[in-house]
Structure 1
Amino acid sequence: MEESLTCEHPERKILMKAAYIEETGPPEVIQYGDIPTPEPGEGQVLVKIGTAALNPIDTYVRNGANYWELPKPFVTGSDLAGTIEKMGPGTSRYQVGQRVWGTNQGLVGRQGTFAEYAVVDEHWLYATPDDVKDDAVAACALTGITAHLGLGADNAALKSGETIFVHGGSGGVGSMVVQMAKAMGATVLTTAGSREKSEICLELGADHVFNYKTQDVDEEVLKVCPNGVNVIWETIREPDFDFLVSIAAERCRMVLMAGRDARPEFPVGPFYVKGCSLHGFVMFKASPEEMAVSGNEISRWLSEGKLKPQIGKIFPLSEAAAAHKLQEDNTLRQAGTLVGKILIKP
């Protein structure tokens, strides 16, 4: 007699498309394919991604920057905008079908956003205004919150009527700082490397733009502000502190948000004699409550037209590796082939 076989069928997992890595390395390690759709846990929601955005830190993590242990497979990407698909237990802030946006994913061991769906702790999400598109809010996510935190009371403490110098006003964070500083009532001075980028800075609200390739920037800044500027926002990876201190006013506040491996010389004497202060920070170490203040303000400014997202190029999810390469070419190798944010569409 034939032996009877019992065939048990394990629960079939629902799959989604994602851009993910099994090991760190160059952009070519990114795979595009099917992985299980995640399920929201306690305090989490499942978001159907409408638009994701790429940031330099996403490329550093993919390339093996040893900030924290990564899950495997690891989905890259920090920023998202989309619609809530499913609520996990213990959630009450939002509802299914509501449009939301956020950042801080793909960091500190969390899974990222380059996928059709992402599970997100609801405290990292903010309501998307009805009159704001997913592309627009995704393009302002990490960069916008970084800018808002840096300009706030714990860092630059920028006040209406003050002057601020922003190094690189057409870049991802720089363009957000220029617009927010203007919205806060400051006089904004910034730099750009081409006529095209200078025009972008002026459109964003900068009062004075200097071409760092053709002009003596410190001389030009001091023509406009003979006593120096009140706030300096540094975006470049290798700060020149002799230059920065030379354009600083008494009690100038300097904000650093780049150059993790930088070890520049520092003019201690001129710095402290002017009573300057130096503020370094990274967005992902802010608390959910701190980031919520920024997120809600960004949503309001976008709805009011006070923030204009800078979108450089849009890639389909299947071309995530090419998107990472373009970002690296411009961040690390100064290719100059990108103005604005790279977006990813599932």
Structure 2
Amino acid sequence: MQSFRTRMPPTDGHDDSLVRSLCRQQDNVIVRRDLPPPTPVEGEILIEVLFSGSNPSDLRIVNYLGFRNFVLGYDFCGRVLESPGLNGSGFKAGDIVAGYTSYEDDQPLRWGTHQSYISRPPIGMFKVPGNLPLPDAAALTTVVQTANDALFHLFKLPPPSSGQGHIEGTLVVWGGGTAVGMSAIQLAHAIGITSIITTASASRHGLLQELGATQCSDYHDESVVQQVKRAVQEAGNKRVWGFDTAGTPDSSRLLLDSLAGFEGEVQYAFVGLISGNRPASEMCLAVRHHKLAFDIPGAPEPYVFPAKPAEAEIIWKATEWVVAHYGKEFRLPGLRVFAGRAEEALEQLQTVAAQGAFGKLVLKQPLE
């Protein structure tokens, strides 16, 4: 296990040099160096952040929904510090943990993970085992939970811990080179789905086949819809699951076009906020253990997703399987670590939001 020296948070509220935060304030994304260190409230755990993981939605969601006073980031790996919320939590001071927080407009600043310290409830956290490098631990929770939600909640497939090793069916992953796409491919391979078809740039096809894809098509090809449609027909399965992991209007349209007219049973899942004529029930979420509500611009009423405790437990157990099997049956290819100035880190997040780089970006904390 990699070792790190503990940084103690300042206690007088005036030395802000150890608390650097990437924030959205009003209509701008900025670096703040004036936030006091977090003070845990009842039921929360204080964590010294070692690495924070980035996702395209770090900026996409807050910009689209107009969050105005918000610390960015919801994946992390860090060290537990002494705090009142440890009682009965299953964690103790000194534990190296990883996990995620959810995105809510009115959530406390202390929950956002792109900063030196966070204080949060002990939900959606796990102790980092020796087989899991700390940067990888900081990167995996949201993308794995999102893939789990599609496969094991929306599609109701058996999780990898069930031991079922052969499932007749075809999974189409549109955007296999994304972190969610690669997660879905590996999880589908682990549970024995017989046909895993994906789209990605041609340079990623070899890697995706190593991860478990049975057939790849280049999404740049003008005939990609016809290629996927033909591959689904040749697989000959009566059950098909379509999963858009790219999260753009074009990707969702192309996925729907590729499966249009299929005579068997088809189910869909989409990352990102649903638009057009698709039901909100097809939107996959990383969080199911509490209610989420999104005020969508132009929508007549908020999108409300009720808490689903039973489903949340199922997809979390699949995440625990990933953690236990990391490095053997699951990995996050292309992971890169940024260490440097906070302003440069914001530029890196902009690239991630535009899906302009392959693999997961992790920020080493504290930023300069």
Q: Normalising by the residue count of structure 1, what TM-score does the alignment of the two structures yield?
A: 0.79
Q: 1:19 aligns with which of 21, 25, 33?
A: 21
| SS in structure 1 of the partner of residue 81 of structure 2 | strand
Task: State the distance in 2 between where 1:202 and 1:247 align.
Answer: 27
Q: Does 1:329 align with 2:354?
A: yes
1:237 equivalent among 215, 228, 248: 248
CA separation of 1:114 and 1:164: change in aligned 2, threshold 3 A: same
Instruction: Show the 5 A alignment for 1:111-260.
Output: 111-152=111-152, 154-158=153-157, 160-186=167-193, 187-193=195-201, 195-214=202-221, 216-226=223-233, 227=236, 230-235=240-245, 236-238=247-249, 239-240=252-253, 242-246=256-260, 248-260=262-274
Q: 1:307 aligns with which of 315, 325, 330?
A: 330
Query: What amino acid sits opposite 1:192 in the alignment?
Result: A
Residue of structure 1 aligned with 2:276, choices 260, 263, 270: 263
- For residue 170 of structure 1, report the CA deviation from its aligned partner: 0.9
Please list, as runs of the form range in 1=range in 2, the aligned pairs for 1:264-283 lying within 5 A after superposition: 279-283=282-286
- 1:116-144 per-position Cα deviation (integer Å, ceiling 9, x unaligned): 11111002312222221121122211111
Work out whether residues 49 and 80 of structure 1, in 8 Å CA contact, stay in contact via their aligned partners in 2. Answer: yes
Letter in 2 for 1:137: A
Aligned residue among 307, 320, 337 for 2:345: 320
**TM-superposed deviation, 1:249:** 5.0
Q: What stretches of structure 1 of length at least 5 have no aligned partner?
A: 1-10, 267-276, 331-336
- Structure with larger Rg: 1
**Measured at CA, do residues 280 and 61 of structure 1 come closer, stay the same or move farther in structure 2, by a change above 3 Å?**
closer
| AA of the residue aligned to 1:39 | T
Partner-residue secondary structure (3-state), 2:208: helix
Question: What is the identity, as a one-letter code, of the residue corresponding to 1:258?
Answer: G
Q: Determine if contact 2:98/2:128 at 8 Å carries over to the other structure.
A: yes
- 1:247 Cα deviation from its structure 2 partner: 6.7
Counting matched residue pairs gives 311
What are the within-5 Å matches in structure 2 for residues 102-117 of structure 1? 102-110=99-107, 111-117=111-117
Please say if 1:52 is aligned against 2:52: yes
RMSD in angstroms over aligned alpha carbons? 2.8
Contact in 2 for aligned 1:84/1:97 (Cα 8 Å): yes
Q: Any conservation in 2 of the 1:44–1:120 contact (CA below 8 Å)?
A: yes
d(CA) in 2 for partners of 1:124 and 1:47?
14
- Does residue 294 of the first structure (1) align with residue 311 of the second (2)? no
| Paired position in structure 1 for 2:84 | 88
Deviation at 1:280, TM superposition (A): 2.3
The answer to whether the Cα contact below 8 Å between 2:78 and 2:96 also exists between their aligned partners in 1 is yes
Q: Distance in 2 between matches of 1:64 and 1:222?
A: 33
Contact kept, 8 Å, 1:77 with 1:105, in 2: the verdict is no
Deviations 1:67-89 (CA, angstroms, capped at 9, x unpaired): xx65x4x3210111112112324
Contact 2:149/2:285 (8 A) holds in 1? no
Partner of 2:95: 98
| C-alpha spacing 1:130/1:291, structure 2 compared with 1 (3 Å) | farther
Provide the C-alpha distance between the structure 2 equivalents of 1:295 and 1:45, rounded to a whole number of angstroms.
20
Instruction: Calculate percent identity across the aligned residue pairs.
Output: 19
> Does the 8 Å CA contact 1:163/1:231 hold for their aligned counterparts?
yes
Deviations 1:165-195 (A, max 9, x none): 00010102111111111111112110012x2
Partner deviation per Cα, 1:263-283 (whole Å, 9 max, x = no partner): 26x8xxxxxxxxxx9722332
Take 1:156 and 1:62, find their aligned partners in 2: how far apart are those partners? 28
Structure 2: 5+ residue stretches without partners? 1-10, 159-166, 291-306
